[in-house]
């Protein structure tokens, strides 16, 4: 399917149904589809490298994943019967206020991730790719992994640790602290915050494995020592693939190993 042969706007559901039989395998877990031919460099940057950087233990818990690269995603007026916002694939740029970077769904045991790539930086795409994967992983994680992470969050709440990793988690944390005095209780508000905090932290973790990124300091940013504890826990459960690292000292160690002369035996 290409923008020349099918230029009209399509709902995301109709579009994914049409491209299902044209998916190109990347691994036993991932496949992809693009609306226009990609160069080898594009395939590497948009598909192969981001997928290769995913921890083996993490991909093992995910359902099969379809990565679909489209020009634009547009948020439509109104909602579906389930009260969920409606989106469409567009081959022409929608108004900026109506554009969306990504959309995802899980149906019939398969996750489908749509990403708008036209007029977007590859670095921005990587962030939204790992955020989508983090969202899937947060829901598929083993109960032990989830409970360990939620335990860290309870420690932070009891210690009145300020800040969060991203905006959504920050707002949910503020709402939780205002509404709930006993933070040990596993209420709906706590679970909503904890899930979002896990997604935000896992996004940073996965993005950091693949790319050289910096955490921007700010008044809403989680202090580094607490952020490191979260990332360390994720590393223990979802270790980076061979040749990848998370923390600066690990990256330096990999570089030293690569640069070391071969041993003489």
Q: Taking the domains of the chain in order of start, what are their residue ranges?
A: 11-140, 143-253
pLDDT per position as a tens digit, 60-83: 999 999 999 999 999 988 776 666
Confidence of residue 219 (pLDDT cuts 50, 70, 90): confident
Closest to 248 in 3D by CA, of 219, 217, 224: 224
Write out the two tokens for 94: 């929608």
Please tell me the distance from the alpha carbon of residue 51 to that of residue 59, in angstroms, as a whole number: 9
Contact indicator for 103, 14 with CB cutoff of 8 Å: no
Please tell me the distance from the alpha carbon of residue 23 to that of residue 9, in angstroms, as a whole number: 20
Helices 143-158 + 224-237 axis angle, to 10: 170
pLDDT per position as a tens digit, 129-169: 999 999 999 999 999 999 999 999 999 999 999 999 999 99
In 10 A of CB 234, how many CB atoms? 25
Segment 240-245 shows an average pLDDT of 90
pLDDT of amino acid 248: 72
In DSSP terms, which residues pair with 88 in a beta bridge?
Answer: 11, 74
Write out the two tokens for 107: 């149906």
pLDDT per position as a tens digit, 75-121: 988 776 666 678 999 999 999 999 999 999 998 899 999 999 998 99
**3-state DSSP assignment of residue 92:** coil
Confidence of residue 259 (pLDDT cuts 50, 70, 90): low
pLDDT at 10 over 80: yes
Closest to 153 in 3D by CA, of 196, 203, 188, 204: 196
pLDDT at 265 over 50: no
pLDDT of amino acid 264: 46
Segment 236-264 shows an average pLDDT of 71
HSE-up of residue 261 (Cα within 13 Å, Cβ side): 2
In 10 A of CB 63, how many CB atoms? 16
- Tell me, rounded to whole angstroms, the distance of Cα 71 from its chain centroid: 19
């Amino acid at each position: 399917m290409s923008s020349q042969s099918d230029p009209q706007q399509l709902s995301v559901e109709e579009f994914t149904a049409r491209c299902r039989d044209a998916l190109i395998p990347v691994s036993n877990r991932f496949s992809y589809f693009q609306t226009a031919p990609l160069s080898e460099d594009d395939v590497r940057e948009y598909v192969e490298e981001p997928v290769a950087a995913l921890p083996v233990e993490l991909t093992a818990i995910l359902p099969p994943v379809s990565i679909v690269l489209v020009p634009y995603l547009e948020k439509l007026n109104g909602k579906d019967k389930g009260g969920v916002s409606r989106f469409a694939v567009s081959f022409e740029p929608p108004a900026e206020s109506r554009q969306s970077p990504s959309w995802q769904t899980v149906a019939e045991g398969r996750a489908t991730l749509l990403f708008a790539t036209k007029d977007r930086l590859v670095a921005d795409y990587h962030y939204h790719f790992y955020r989508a994967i983090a969202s899937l992983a947060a829901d598929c994680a083993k109960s032990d992994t989830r409970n360990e992470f939620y335990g860290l969050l309870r420690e932070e709440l009891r210690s009145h640790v300020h800040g969060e990793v991203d905006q959504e988690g920050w707002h949910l944390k503020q709402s939780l602290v205002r509404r709930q005095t006993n933070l040990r209780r596993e209420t709906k508000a706590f679970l909503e915050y904890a899930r979002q905090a896990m997604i935000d932290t896992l996004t940073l973790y996965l993005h950091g494995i693949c790319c050289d990124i910096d955490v921007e300091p700010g008044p809403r940013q989680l202090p580094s020592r607490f952020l490191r504890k979260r990332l360390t826990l994720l590393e223990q459960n979802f270790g980076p693939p061979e040749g990848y690292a998370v923390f600066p000292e690990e990256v330096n160690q990999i570089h030293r190993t690569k640069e070391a002369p071969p041993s003489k035996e």
